[in-house]
Amino acid sequence: MKETIDFLPLKGTDYIEFYVGNSKQAAFFYQTAFGFQPLAFAGLETGLSDRSSYVLQQGKIRLVLTSSLNGENEISRHAMKHGDGVKVIALWVDDATKAWEETTSRGADSYMAPTTTADDNGEVITSGIRIYGETVHVFVERKNYNGVFLPGYIPWETSYKTEPTGLKYVDHMVGNVGWGEMNKWVDFYAEVMGFNQLISFDDKDISTEFTALMSKVMSNGNERIKFPINEPAEGAKKSQVEEYLDFYGTSGVQHIALETDDILQTVTTLKDRGIDFLEIPDDYYEVVKERVGEIDETVDSLKKLGILVDRDEEGYLLQIFTKPLVDRPTLFFEIIQRKGAKSFGKGNFKALFEAIELEQGKRGTL
């Protein structure tokens, strides 16, 4: 095997920043429903005049919810054009200057040149590059920082606390890109960021009677970061990816998959707290044992919650998908528990897409 040097070593996902219409209320939603814990805040009280950001954490997952305090800036324009959505996928690195130099020298479009910010707790270097649509990667070098999140943020003190729901870390984040653009972004992740292609699905794998899409999964060297890239494919009716693009207005993040060690408990709690999941027809469960063989869970317990199961050579996985988390049919979460399997639930695509089409039918967008 050829020895290659990883020119962009990534330690993990640092944070995911959403631009939203109302960060205070969005924070309350992710806190109340998903059990994210209050971590940090920046806004008028910290000297900012144009924005407020709430930072929440659960396990290794950090969400930043940012909204504009006026109608004039980039954040309000973004929120109006796209609705609430992911702006920044931040990646934790040892050297944000080198990450920016390596990627921009390979053709990445700069979003932010390396910038040092500091406060009493030390300093952080951040830099950034543009990816699909208006989404960006920010590289975060925090080895000389001991503060709660980033310089400029203060601890978010609140007496309102909710129990966590067992979410541990980001398993993967999926991008929806435009017609014929999948390979352009696959090449971007390969050439500009040094990622490898793990898997490819074509429209024969991922199609139903009505709609289709194609997907390739890109991963960094240590496989901590996995980015499937979807594009719509021709079908008899409108692809779910096309519906996303129509409503988001451009390419963007479609779903964030969050890992749990106990999906039965996590999903039970999320349902109790009002989160809606895609509904899977009962007949899915009639053949599930034949398809995946022995599993630790009872089929009844999965059926009761609508959890899907799939197997590959290395083990199996359990997964479930929320309905869109925002007004537009764009962003959703996947909850996933891996029991050895490293794949993405190919055996579930048909059942899943039929469930999505049921929802598209209700929205009149199929």
> Closer CB to Fe ion, residue 134 or residue 334?
334
The vertex-259 CA angle with 256 and 264, nearest 5°, equals 115
Regarding 334 and contact with Fe ion (CB under 5 A), the answer is yes
Cα–Cα distance between 320 and 282 in angstroms, integer? 15
Cα–Cα distance between 351 and 305 in angstroms, integer? 15
Regarding 308 and contact with Fe ion (CB under 5 A), the answer is no
Question: Looking at residue 206, what DSSP letter applies?
Answer: S
Q: For the CB of residue 84, give the shortest distance to Fe ion in the complex, in Å.
A: 20
Find the part of the chain contacting Fe ion (CB under 5 A) among 13-21, 34-42, 269-277, 334-342: 334-342
* Residue 91: closest CA among 144, 128, 63: 128
> Closer CB to Fe ion, residue 102 or residue 171?
171
Strand, coil or helix: what is 82?
Answer: helix
Find the part of the chain contacting Fe ion (CB under 5 A) among 9-17, 205-213, 304-312, 332-340: 332-340
Question: Looking at residue 1, what DSSP letter applies?
Answer: -
> Closer CB to Fe ion, residue 242 or residue 259?
259
Regarding 257 and contact with Fe ion (CB under 5 A), the answer is yes
> Closer CB to Fe ion, residue 67 or residue 208?
208
Q: What are phi and psi of 212, to 5 degrees?
A: -145, 160
Cα–Cα distance between 143 and 147 in angstroms, integer? 11
Q: For the CB of residue 171, give the shortest distance to Fe ion in the complex, in Å.
A: 8
Size of the site for Fe ion (CB under 5 A): 2
Regarding 141 and contact with Fe ion (CB under 5 A), the answer is no
Instruction: Tell me the residue length of the chain.
Output: 366
Q: For the CB of residue 255, give the shortest distance to Fe ion in the complex, in Å.
A: 6
Q: For the CB of residue 334, give the shortest distance to Fe ion in the complex, in Å.
A: 4
* Residue 352: closest CA among 193, 205, 247: 205
Strand, coil or helix: what is 27?
Answer: helix
- What's the half-sphere exposure (Cβ side, CA atoms, 13 Å) at 212? 13
Per-residue binder mask for Fe ion (CB under 5 A), 199-238, x = binder: ----------------------------------------
Regarding 310 and contact with Fe ion (CB under 5 A), the answer is no
Which residues here bind Fe ion, judged by CB under 5 A?
A: 257, 334
